[in-house]
Structure 1
Amino acid sequence: MRFLYLASQSPRRCQLLEQIGVRHELLLPDAHEDTEALERLLPDEAPDDYVLRVTLAKLAAARARLLARGLPAAPILCADTTVALGPRIFGKPADDEDAALMLQALSGQTHRVLTAVALAEAPHAAFAPQCVLQVSAVRFRQLGSDEIVRYVASGESQGKAGAYAIQSQAAAWVEHIEGSYSGVMGLPLFETAEVLRGVGWSF
């Protein structure tokens, strides 16, 4: 297999795929697509159910996009990441105030970072995607309010589930991590490689 389509706007996912030598092309939404609608939380939805549902919805949308554009057939890879503290889901903050509230809630706590990865082997085949879920536990030390203000002001919080990026200065807050560092970044490489091997990809 020469390449796959990555249906993600995350530069981190691109970098992670490059790290394991996976050639890819971006398959991004058209201007008319309401991508935010796919990420809306349903009432009483559990974090695991949420991230799996959103990832599969993104994959279905990407498949339809590829077919509509008449692009060459290739596997399509999607992923979604969310942060949860108990049953509470922390998505992307709406604004700086929302980001600060999220970080205050995570301060001194152990939270979960859930990343689902889904792969459609070929868009023209029967749509039977493979999907895996990776869950990591991350513990933050107690954060000072001034630290939170400075971090939010840096702009790093925006567009990030849980209002932080572990590869940024927020790494200095992490007392302990159990799971997958790349999964916390947005694409668990072990699980991704296993899914790709399952459809004949060699590394």
Structure 2
Amino acid sequence: MAPLILASASPRRRDLLAQIGIVPDIIAAADLDESPRKDETPRLLALRLAQDKARAVAATHAGSLAGFVLAADTVVCVGRRVLDKAHDAADVVRCLELMSGRGHRIYTGVAVVAPSGKLTSRVVETRITFKVLTPSEITGYAASGEGVGKAGGYGIQGRAGGFVTHLVGSFTAVVGLPLYEARCLLEGAGYTC
């Protein structure tokens, strides 16, 4: 069988796949500009980025190197405002202050390119509500460093899980890869899970 290529350097995505017994043969992250296009909705941004990552990695693994390429991208937003990956503790504070006591949405695009070149993809929407956060909760979480490098400035699988009062959708999509949808896309493309 053709190899499985994970188009992501995210250790969280590798760990999630391992939970369902899938181990990528190759890890090959795509380096793309992830900036939203003019008037692009968060849902369409997540889908486009996942598709673009899958296509970019598939292009570098063509011919005899062709495999099943799995890519994903997660976009966190409040309304139409996209919350990028937090670069530092100050970004984490800004994100948490914005989400405190409010709902936000996470769109996770997932895409698979089969060895034949056929692309299939989906977007998973998850709605999350945070409790009203105290200033000390916000600064304490920011100081932990856990939110740096994560979309929206937090990781639900860590300390921030204690801020969630309501979740509708896919927990694994919030972590970075909707496992049910990823498995369905891989199986539909002919990969044996």
TM-score (norm 2): 0.93
Partner amino acid for 1:170? A
Give the structure 2 partner of residue 179 of structure 1.
Answer: 169
Show the counterpart of 2:39.
44
Q: SS at the partner of 1:137?
A: strand
Alignment of 1:57-96 (within 5 A): 57-67=52-62, 72-96=65-89
Instruction: Compute the displacement of 1:200 (Å).
Output: 2.8
Does the aligned pair in 2 maintain the 1:74–1:121 contact within 8 Å? yes
Mapping of 1:1-203 within 5 angstroms?
A: 1=1, 3-29=3-29, 35=31, 37-67=32-62, 72-122=65-115, 125=116, 127-203=117-193
1:107 to partner: Cα distance: 0.6
What's the CA shift for 1:71?
Answer: 6.4
Aligned length in residues: 193
**Structure 2: how far apart are the matches of 1:81 and 1:145?**
27
Contact 1:130 1:195 in 2 (8 A): yes
TM normalised by structure 1 equals 0.88
Stretches of 4+ aligned residues off by more than 4 angstroms = none
Q: 1: CA distance between counterparts of 2:135 and 2:39? A: 30
Contact preservation (8 Å) 2:114, 2:190: no
Q: Deviations over 1:101-143 (max 9, x none)?
A: 1110011111111101000011xx3x33101110111110000
Distance 2:191 2:55 in 1: 22
Q: Name structure 2 gaps, 5 residues minimum.
A: none
**Identity within the alignment, %:** 38
3-state secondary structure, aligned to 1:167: coil
| SS in structure 1 of the partner of residue 109 of structure 2 | strand
Structure 1: segments with no counterpart, 5+ residues: none
- Work out the CA distance in 1 between the residues paired with 2:49 and 2:82: 13
Q: Is the 8 A contact 1:3 1:23 kept in 2?
A: no
Question: Offset of 1:27 from its aligned partner?
Answer: 3.0
1:134-170 Cα offsets, whole Å, 9 max, x none, are: 0111110000111111111111111111000000000
